[in-house]
């Protein structure tokens, strides 16, 4: 093998092996278990992963906080549910239409709110999330209020019916991995570099010719689309939606997953999603009401004792590689 070819191969393998290992690990889960509960947990992990990756692009890459992201998950879930049960729309088309609606609403909301900074932006997005939650309850003729919507048909593709937990697991993880791969590529793209410059200093980014308002709006809409698609997948799998699944608590837990995983790399979304999916299931075995308390204490510990930029799980990974000292 020539020296040039060897060099290209050596650069390619380290860049892709981590993603390949993750993809093989999650896609092989149905080969090792038929337990519906375990497969469902992994499937919900995939949809949460989609949301967290989108939120990482907004918070970790662009430095813009959102405490209302559960609203976009709700828009996707209710959008699909209403379209397929009331208008008899094809479920796949309903998923796409809901994502477009979420992007449009994110654009309308983002134009005024993304001009804000810090805790003002957090309060504005939190207010948006609460408005959507109230509308889901109050618009009873459309959303059926607190009773939610039942009878949502599962996704299917020809002879494949994704109500089967094994098939659904493969479907959502393939989509989640595609989102993740796009995020990995985005961080090294022109848009990704512009967002990183924006995160460090908006004034400096503007001086370099970056249209900061447009870039913030772009990433906000992209993260809303990811959240909407995740919500649609959940709705078609569970075949039921209710407003209780899209509260402020859910938005806070999603932000927790980004903080826990760390802002340094999108790989932090992997570790953060793993924790926010598995930890509640463990806690519920002892006391279901203690979930929010544990997450609250966890965030306090992280903010006070550990660097938010790295995140405890991301920092542990660096320590194991010998790239960072305690």
- Looking at per-residue confidence, does 261 or 318 come out higher? 261
b (16+ CB within 10 A) / e for 181-207? eebbebbeeebbbbbbbbbeebeebee
CATH number attached to the domain at 33-321 = 1.10.3470
Q: How far is CA 54 from CA 73, 74, 78, 184, 233, in A?
A: 11, 15, 19, 11, 16
pLDDT at 323: 44
In this prediction the pTM is: 0.87
pLDDT one-digit tens code per residue, 33-57: 999 999 999 999 999 999 999 999 9
Rounded to 5 degrees, what angle do the CA atoms 120, 203, 190 make? Answer: 100
Rounded Cα distance, 46 and 277, in Å = 10
The residue among 218, 202, 215 whose CA lies nearest residue 118 is 202
pLDDT at 305: 57
State the DSSP code for 189: S
CB count, 10 Å around CB of 137?
A: 14
Domain ranges in the chain are: 33-321
pLDDT one-digit tens code per residue, 91-137: 999 999 999 999 999 999 999 998 888 788 989 999 999 999 999 99
């Amino acid at each position: 093998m020539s020296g040039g070819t060897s060099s290209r191969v050596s650069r390619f393998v380290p860049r892709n092996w981590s993603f390949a290992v993750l993809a093989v690990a999650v896609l092989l889960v149905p080969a090792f278990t038929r337990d519906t509960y375990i497969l469902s947990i992994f499937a919900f992990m995939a949809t949460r992963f989609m949301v967290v990756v989108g939120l990482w692009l907004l918070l970790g890459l662009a430095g813009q906080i959102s405490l209302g992201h559960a609203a976009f998950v709700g828009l996707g879930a209710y959008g699909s549910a209403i379209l397929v049960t009331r208008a008899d729309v094809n479920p796949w088309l309903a998923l796409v239409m809901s994502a477009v609606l979420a992007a449009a609403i994110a654009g309308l909301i983002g134009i005024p709110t993304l001009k804000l900074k810090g805790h003002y932006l957090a309060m504005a997005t939190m207010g948006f999330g609460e408005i959507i939650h109230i509308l889901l309850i109050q618009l009873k003729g459309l959303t059926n209020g607190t009773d939610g919507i039942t009878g949502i048909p599962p996704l299917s593709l020809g002879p494949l019916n994704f109500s089967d937990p094994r098939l659904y697991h493969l479907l959502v993880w393939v989509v989640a991995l595609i989102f993740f791969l796009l995020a990995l590529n985005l961080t090294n793209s022109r848009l990704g570099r512009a967002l990183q410059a924006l995160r460090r200093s908006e004034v400096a980014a503007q001086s370099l010719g970056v249209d900061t308002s447009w870039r913030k709006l772009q990433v906000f809409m992209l993260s809303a689309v990811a959240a909407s698609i995740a919500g649609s997948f959940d709705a078609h799998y569970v075949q039921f939606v209710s407003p209780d699944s899209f509260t402020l608590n859910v938005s806070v837990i999603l932000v927790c997953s980004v903080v826990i995983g760390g802002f340094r790399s999108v790989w932090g979304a992997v570790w953060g999603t793993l924790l926010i999916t598995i930890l509640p299931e463990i806690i519920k075995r002892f006391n279901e009401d203690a979930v929010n308390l544990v997450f609250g204490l966890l965030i306090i510990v992280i903010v006070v004792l550990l660097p938010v930029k790295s995140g405890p799980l991301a920092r542990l990974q660096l320590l194991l590689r010998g790239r960072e000292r305690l």
